[in-house]
Amino acid sequence: MVANAHNRWVFGEAPLAQVVDLAQELRELTSAVLALEHAPDEIRVLTDQIRTARERLAPMLPVDPTPRIGDAPRPEQRVYLDHSRDVGDYNPCFPQYRLECADDRAEGTVTFPLCSEGPPGIVHGGVLSLFFDCALQQLNCDLGLAGKTTNLAVRYRRPTPLLTPLRVVAERTLDGDRIRSHAELFLDDELLCAAEMAAVAGNREALPAVSPRRPS
């Protein structure tokens, strides 16, 4: 089940491959250090290395942190990355999942790492809301029609476990310019939580222009 890639709603530049690799390592590293009983000296060394890397990168960053979109982009602004799908692949603050979309439906999988913990051994409810928001937005974007979210409601049925492969299914319906989406998260056949999203369909032709990456 794969959506037509030519019809996908895309708004922004693709992330750098190196950033995708880094995001995965940062997510795994955060989960690892959260499980430590004590702080070994490696933590101090690692923190110093990260601080040094951040300081070295600082002069390379754009002066203006606003995204470079619209009719009057300025070179000192930053590049805007596409947030329509797979945001967790390049941003470790977002959930990472896999989703295939076609025919107004989606199926996929997600495993929440330790850094998504809320109650002991359980995924934080806010992380679940963020996950559903991303997954349902991807469903709409992959099927070629998306827009501004007007409502997102999550119903928690059972505690959602960490470090456990879970299954997500989703569907959407269209009613004029209204998009209604529904998703459910399962452990085997047990429903853990569900989400309902409402959105107003947008017009791709009305989106502001997104400036491409500048040559290096």
pLDDT of residue 183: 98
Residues of the chain under the 50 pLDDT cut: none
Q: Which pair of structure tokens corresponds to residue 157? A: 């049925």
Burial, 123: exposed, middle or buried (Cβ in 10 Å; 0-12, 13-18, 19+)? buried
Q: What is the pTM of this model?
A: 0.93
pLDDT of residue 3: 61
pLDDT of residue 5: 64
Q: Which pair of structure tokens corresponds to residue 34? A: 């959260």
pLDDT of residue 157: 97
Q: What pLDDT, in 10s, does the model give residues 130-143? A: 999 999 999 999 99
| Residue 94, C-beta contacts closer than 8 angstroms, at least 6 positions apart | 87, 88, 130, 134
Q: What pLDDT, in 10s, does the model give residues 75-118? A: 999 999 999 999 999 999 999 999 999 999 999 999 999 999 99
Question: What domains are defined for the chain?
Answer: 8-206 (3.10.129.10)
pLDDT of residue 216: 77
Name the helix (H) or strand (E) containing 52: helix 41-57
Provide the pairing of β-strand 190-201 with 147-156: antiparallel
